[in-house]
Amino acid sequence: MKTPISDDGRKELYLSGGGVTCPFCGSDNLICGESDSQDDAKHQGVVCGGCHKEWTDVYTLTDVRFEE
């Protein structure tokens, strides 16, 4: 019997994997919704096309690159 992954463990795996697979079932069939800005972050809803779980990705500005 598999040991369940905690929410913190699931979050860590999702983020360290680049957010390209479902943190619940591992499917890469992710459907991204519209994004909106809240506070200092951009929020985007995501639905897994495999298991139909839902979550929100949160994006923050971490760097800037100037073009020459």
For the stretch 58-68, pLDDT in tens is 999 999 999 98
* 36 contacts: CB under 8 Å, gap ≥ 6: 42, 43, 44
Q: Would you say the pTM of this structure is higher than 0.85?
A: no
Instruction: Take residue 42 and report the two structure tokens written for it.
Output: 């951009």
The per-residue pLDDT for 1 is: 63
Residues of the chain with pLDDT under 50: none
